[in-house]
Amino acid sequence: MFPRLVYESFRHQGRRKLLAGIAITLGVAVATAMIAVATDIGDKINRELRSYGANLLITPQEDTLDVEIGGVNLKPPSDGTFLNELDLPKIRGTFWHNNIVGFSPMLPVTVKLKNGNSVEDVTMLGTYFSEPVRFGKETFTTGVRNTHPWWTVKGSCGDGRLARPGRVEDSPAACNWPNDDSQNVLIGERLSARLAKQPGDTLDVAGRQLTISGILSTGSSEDDQIVAPLALAQEIIGRPGAVRRVYVSALTKPQDAFAVQDPNTMTPEVRDRWYCSPYVQSIALQLEEVIPHSHAEQIRQVAQNEGTVLSRIKGLMLLVTFAALLASALAVSAAMATAIFERRVEVGLMKALGAGSFAVSTIFFAEALLLAIVGGVAGFFAGALLARQIGRSIFNSQISIDPVLFPIIIAIAVLVTFAGSAAAIRRAVKFDPVFALRGEG
């Protein structure tokens, strides 16, 4: 008898049930998509935020400060301490090596630049552009093209055309970026304008004739400098393997209260959990462990901006999910209230025949449960498709749907449906059978 009552309810009130089911499906679909994206968004957002550049800086433990005036490094080449270039591949030997997007060693040196009859001091910045590095059996490519993605270069492609980013035929590897084993350099756009130099011209630097591969624009001090392969800068100062600082770009977890605790005050178990979390602080500690006599710290503006952006995006997703589920609950409430009002005579008859409040409410909650399951299943698969579409259109990658999300979504659908139906069902069990049978409920 009970299943038949439920069946007849769906058969005679198909439109009402369909509207409630659609409301549940839409709300659950949005919730599924937002939860799926939020749980899979960390690495993808972090990769997008790598356009901010490196978020960690490694320096010698006892180094002195760089002093620059007008883009010229005033520190004597021999002053301070250096890191050893041979230690840098060990960065890929840390616990979180897969989170290391790239690193760029830097060696600023002051050189004599001859321009006509005049000689002036300028800073030459030695670095990796796109250098293959080997660690163990692994070979990977790293340099400023990974860690400083906002650097733009205009260069000659050999036939008079200017290389522009994004053009396949003018690929950076083909013309505007120097090779790391060459004597070619980049020249900052302000220095280029002052010297009236263009790609293809030569510079007389420390008695060497260096060819300009491209004009560098960074919006910073590099616009007044010469940027050269690291080996060339080391050769000029006679310090093979010397590195002044290293910029590291790593995928990290946003900071929380646990991240900023001092690991030296933690118990061994808590420290292991902190150490095995991809916080910028824990990665910095691991970098200090693998590079002798080094000090690693986060570049605070970058790390804080990343955490803020990621937190706000997740907060927005939570707000959208809550709004969608609230709208779904309100739609279900309206549909169920109308359906129950239309069935007030049926309710009155059941109560007149001796049915108690529990029996009446059980029928309506069974209908709501069936709606929740059907709408939840449909909403889950619709939300999975929506999440994949969001992944392709925004992140250009696939959003993975964790199977454990399915029972969670069904539970959310049941909770939303029951919350939307509760008020209407409560009113139904309070119908006076006398007035209900007279049509006055």
- In the chain, the percentage of residues whose pLDDT exceeds 90 is 31
Per-residue pLDDT at 158: 44
Which of 34-43, 113-122, 260-269 shows the lowest mean pLDDT across its residues?
A: 34-43
**pLDDT at 167 (0 to 100):** 38
Per-residue pLDDT reduced to its tens digit, 232-270: 999 999 999 999 999 998 888 777 778 888 888 899 999
pLDDT of 190 above 80: yes
Q: What is the pLDDT of residues 315-341, one digit of tens each?
A: 888 888 899 889 888 888 888 777 777
Segment 398-408 mean pLDDT: 83
Q: Burial of 358 by CB count in 10 Å (0-12 exposed, 13-18 middle, 19+ buried)?
A: exposed
Distance between CA atoms of residues 111 and 123, nearest Å: 6
Instruction: Give 129's pLDDT tier (boundaries 50, 70, 90).
Output: very high
Helix (H, G, I), strand (E, B) or coil at 60: strand
Q: Report the pLDDT value the prediction gives residue 332, as an integer from 0 to 100.
A: 84
Q: What is the number of other CB atoms lying within 10 angstroms of the CB of residue 173?
A: 10
Identify the three-state secondary structure at position 21: helix
Q: How many CB atoms lie within 10 A of CB 332?
A: 27
pLDDT class of 165 with cuts at 50, 70, 90 = very low
pLDDT of residue 348: 66
Would you say the pTM of this structure is higher than 0.85?
A: no
